[in-house]
Amino acid sequence: MVEIIQFYCYFAVDPRRMKKTAILFLCLVFLSQLHAQQGGNHVFSFLNLPTGARSAALGGHSSATADQTLDFAIANPSLANELMVGHFSLQQSLLPAGITYGNLATALPLGKGILLPYIRYVSYGKFQGYDAVGNLTQTFTAFDFQAGASFALKLNPSFQLGAGASIIGSYLESYSAYGVCGNFGIQYHHPNELFQATLFAKNIGVQLKGYTSGNLWNPLPLEIQGSASIKLKHAPFRFTLIAQHLNQWKIGYYDPRILPTLDPLTGDTIAAPTVGFGEQLARHFALQTELITKGVFQMRLGFDFQRRQELKLQEKPGLAGFSMGLGLNFRKFRIDYGFMIYSKAGMSNSLGISSKLMNWKAKT
């Protein structure tokens, strides 16, 4: 574990080493793709959880917008900017079965760029242990964590480049696993500030230590994602289109064990379900809408077709894949709330609070 922390400190903290870091993590991209397969053949899946309440309200994805939302820059480091300096953010979410996750982040200037250190965690609660014959043993806990930093640097008035590095850990009873992770992105914003776009790669890395001996070099859930956001000039709305899983075309899945059946009335063959081109394409997109007012109140809505197809109940799909939330801006702090609908069987609630430390200084 000490060696992993030393590795992180050497490459991530000093922005002068960003070139070396980029080369290293490009190699990790190759390793990740070399081992990656469709489905769940990766480790540390908690990295795919939304990074905050606003992300949760927008379908589980960060937007293309570079503003004061610190948790956006955890997944996409190119979104770290000077508006975040001096702010801190605390995010907390509740999943079904009592699972909780959250993060703590802040931002500060470093050289000509912005550094955003953060800590993420997932707590799975307490479990009752049993021995091989079913006798009760002691209780144990399980949790995951990610500790890292994002760094962004302006290339010119319109483009900003970002890179991030982190160490990842997972503990399950007496077993543990560790890995390294990197994120890279570039963000563009039009001079009129109405249009913004970004392209980034997240979860680049590998597992360095597995729960068991010999279980090494398993890939992280690598994803390349792009997004474009436009704010209407004369109306308080922002619309964002997310293009996800750009590194993998086939993300739709049906159980190959499902065989064709016969219609009991006509005797016709009913083909086994498959994912056609249209559905495969639609699964790569998610939509976000925000109502942005100059006052206290903001509203958000998101839809992820891929999440809907994966988690909906066939008989009662309901609002699976939809998410919604709001933001409340006060003089000294901001509160965000996000509500994600996985299916009729499960939902999540996220709450975030952020503020600028200078806002709490006593006036002299």
Q: Which is nearest to 303 in space by CA: 317, 318, 289? A: 289
Q: Residue ranges of the chain with pLDDT lower than 70?
A: 1-40, 362-364
Q: What pTM, to 2 d.p., does this model score?
A: 0.84
Element (H or E) spanning 307, and its range?
A: helix 305-311
Tokens of 73: 């820059």
pLDDT of residue 362: 60
Distances (CA, A) of 49 to 26, 87, 193, 254, 284: 23, 22, 29, 23, 17
Detail the DSSP E strand segments found in the chain. Answer: 87-94, 100-106, 108-110, 113-130, 136-154, 159-172, 175-189, 195-209, 223-231, 237-243, 261-262, 269-270, 285-292, 297-304, 322-329, 333-343, 346-356
What is the C-alpha separation between 176 and 141, in angstroms, rounded? 12
Place of tokens 């109502």: 291
pLDDT of residue 7: 39
Fold of 2-246+284-360: Porin (2.40.160)
pLDDT of residue 8: 43
- Domain range summary for the chain, segments of one domain joined by +: 2-246+284-360
Q: Which is nearest to 260 in space by CA: 271, 251, 252, 249? A: 271
Q: Which is nearest to 145 in space by CA: 200, 107, 100? A: 100
pLDDT of residue 363: 59
Give residue-wise pLDDT tens across range 172-182.
999 999 999 99
